[in-house]
Structure 1
Amino acid sequence: MTRPGFASTGDMTEKQVSFTEIGPGLWAYTAEGDPNTGIIIGDDSVMVVDAQATPVMAQRVIEKIRGVTDKPIKYVVLSHYHAVRVLGASAYGASEIVASETCRAMIHERGKEDWDSELGRFPRLFQAADSVPGLTWPTVTFTDRMTIHLGGRRVDLMHLGRAHTAGDIVAFVPDAGVMFSGDIVEYRSACYCGDAHFTDWPATLAAIAAFKPKALAPGRGGALVGTAKVEEALALTSDFLSSTFRPVAEVAARGGSLKEAMAACRAECDAKFASYAIYEHCLPFNVARAYDEALGIDTPRIWTAERDREMWAALQG
């Protein structure tokens, strides 16, 4: 088997953007497996969920927003701390940047390392990287739940449990039954699990399912309209997680090596998920984190640009 070049450094193909209305005044900006952005239009203002990786890339989202409303963008919500989601926030001119308290703590702890890491892994997503003014700092944080009113439209921001990171939040719009999940849910795109909590993630998916969303904007992949489509995405995400973690945990339990864990994960996952966006990119990072968690390491180790290259050479070389 021919192994890919490092992470997504070879992926320089521009993706086709879709801007899909998934509920009244609710939109999903998606791009064939690239990071998605959600838009919530209220009576008097707009909320953006996840900001893109640079201000220049965020401008593309703003152009789409301005095609459907001229209301001011008042809030930018960060579903979690990863650079590809947050570093474009300054472009929106929002009054407030909202995140979980854990997300803000993770920016303090590992935000700069993640920025360097992700820029090295996926340069296409950081177009005009020099337009980023610095780390994005939330101005408003909460622990478990926060409600924001956009005029008469209510948006519930909730930390439902650890999953893709320790600080993930979702945005739910009750009047339409629509959920914006960030990377807790993906649709036919690999889950990046390098900062994940595999053991907790299924319960967080179940908490999302309990809302019975009529539509959902996932972190990556197409917009999901209709309960059947949402249920499919939840099931596929759950299967991806269990198919990754279980074989790795079995290897770790018998004292096998990380390289053996990688082979066991491939044996389980390649046939099912090799066609998914960013599958090869995510695989070594997912295996490394699954192996650590299986050995009882609760807090994911910080990824640095140097550690990325070392892990890739060891597992994908």
Structure 2
Amino acid sequence: MSKGFASQADLVEKKETFSELAPGVYALTAEGDPNSGIVVGDDSVLVIDARATPRMAGDLVARVREVTDKPIRHVLLTHYHAVRVLGVAGYPDRVNVIASDVARAMIVERGQQDMDSEIQRFPRLFRGREEIPGLTWPTLTFRGEMTLWLGAREVRIIHAGRGHTAGDTIAWLPQEQVLFSGDLVEYGATPYCGDAHFQDWPATLDRLEALQPKALVPGRGEALTTPDRIREGLEGTRAFLRDLYAVAEAGVAAGHDLKTVYDRAMSEMRPKYGHWVIFEHCMPFDVSRAYDEAKGIDTPRIWTAERDIEMWRALEG
């Protein structure tokens, strides 16, 4: 292979930033590594995205303990990807694990394959992976929308629509006007689209924008706390999706093979997006999925550790 596979060579730990967005509402970000959120209620705490391993979840729990001694009673999974969910076993309290019904169905369908695939792609993000007891299973699922009351604090949990995956969920605090978008929005980081629905994702972003948040925590990148930054995050994500899918559509219409479309996409998109975090990692997966969708494959094909390597060799070898 002409370059290192995915992010196996990325071994540099990132500096974490723990910021308060509203009283009792926090974001943990880390220079383009996956973000998490903390919402402190009257008598308990909600964590948004559990982190990748029990050990890494323990680091997040330590952040919670910096600001409150209230028990962590709920963990929200914004989607099914292993890097977001496998840390649930690291929470000291018995927690209610919340996910959309679609996200749970995706764990049933492809959770183990995704776990094996993600750990192979990006081992640094799975520190202490030997402590993972297995797949994480939601204990509470919902269809469409639910409201979690942390005492007087309202958290609307919404299956926003297909985008990054079919089961993407956001957390919206209407009183504070803070939005946790999961990987539906990225900022300074390349959207991972290996399980995406390119044609649906922009409309899902429209629904997020209609909430008019005052602060937005993307899946990766710094917390966005001004109207200009929020607009930049939404528009940047939209533009990436639009530009990539246009290349895939044109390539399929012209009868080009995947390698030809990939080379064209890299040539056209690297000047504009190549400085974003994990660009080189994501693009082979992103183009593969865009090519499939342009050919009419609606349900993303399951990524396995074996398929990852086969695809990478075909496009980068």
TM-score, normalised to structure 1's length?
Answer: 0.98
Amino-acid identity (%) = 54
CA RMSD of aligned residues (A): 1.0
Deviation readout 1:70-126 (Å, 9 max, x if unpaired): 111010000000000000012123430000000000000000000000000000011
- Please name the residue that 2:234 is paired with: 234
- Please name the residue that 2:97 is paired with: 97
Q: Is the 8 A contact 1:171 1:179 kept in 2?
A: yes
Structure 2 residue ranges without an equivalent (≥5): none
Q: Is the 8 A contact 1:22 1:224 kept in 2?
A: no
Q: Is the 8 A contact 1:165 1:195 kept in 2?
A: yes
Deviation readout 1:215-271 (Å, 9 max, x if unpaired): 011100111112221111001111111111111111011110101110121122100
- Please name the residue that 1:70 is paired with: 69
- Please name the residue that 1:269 is paired with: 269
Displaced runs of 4+ in structure 1, greater than 6 A? none
Distance in 1 between residues matched to 2:278 and 2:143, nearest whole Å: 31
Tell me the amino acid that sits aligned with residue 270 of structure 1: R
- Please name the residue that 2:187 is paired with: 187
- Please name the residue that 1:153 is paired with: 153
Distance in 1 between residues matched to 2:3 and 2:142, nearest whole Å: 40
Distance in 2 between residues matched to 1:266 and 1:275, nearest whole Å: 13
Distance in 1 between residues matched to 2:2 and 2:235, nearest whole Å: 29
Distance in 1 between residues matched to 2:269 and 2:2, nearest whole Å: 16
Tell me the amino acid that sits aligned with residue 89 of structure 1: V
Q: Is the 8 A contact 1:4 1:280 kept in 2?
A: no
TM-score, normalised to structure 2's length?
Answer: 0.98
- Please name the residue that 2:286 is paired with: 286
Distance in 1 between residues matched to 2:2 and 2:281, nearest whole Å: 11
Tell me the amino acid that sits aligned with residue 72 of structure 1: P
Deviation readout 1:106-159 (Å, 9 max, x if unpaired): 000000000000000000011110111110000000110000000000000001
Deviation readout 1:2-42 (Å, 9 max, x if unpaired): 95300000000000011011122111111111111011111
- Please name the residue that 1:225 is paired with: 225
Distance in 2 between residues matched to 1:238 and 1:177, nearest whole Å: 22
Shift of 1:179: 0.3
Q: Secondary structure at the match of 2:7?
A: coil
Q: Secondary structure at the match of 2:67?
A: coil
- Please name the residue that 2:7 is paired with: 8
Deviation readout 1:43-71 (Å, 9 max, x if unpaired): 11110010111000111111111101111
- Please name the residue that 2:206 is paired with: 206
Distance in 2 between residues matched to 1:90 and 1:210, nearest whole Å: 35
Deviation readout 1:138-185 (Å, 9 max, x if unpaired): 000011000000000000000121000000000000110000000000
- Please name the residue that 1:166 is paired with: 166
Q: Secondary structure at the match of 1:184?
A: coil
Structure 1 116/243 Cα, relative in aligned 2: closer, same or farther at 3 Å? same
Structure 1 residue ranges without an equivalent (≥5): none
Structure 1 94/243 Cα, relative in aligned 2: closer, same or farther at 3 Å? farther
Q: Secondary structure at the match of 2:26?
A: strand
Distance in 2 between residues matched to 1:4 and 1:81, nearest whole Å: 28
- Please name the residue that 1:43 is paired with: 42
Tell me the amino acid that sits aligned with residue 236 of structure 2: L
Distance in 2 between residues matched to 1:249 and 1:4, nearest whole Å: 27
Q: Is the 8 A contact 1:182 1:217 kept in 2?
A: yes
Q: What are the residue-to-residue correspondences of 1:29-40 with 2, within 5 Å?
A: 29-40=28-39
Distance in 2 between residues matched to 1:95 and 1:7, nearest whole Å: 33
- Please name the residue that 2:23 is paired with: 24
Once the two structures are overlaid, the 10-residue window that deviates more, 255-264 or 90-99, is: 90-99
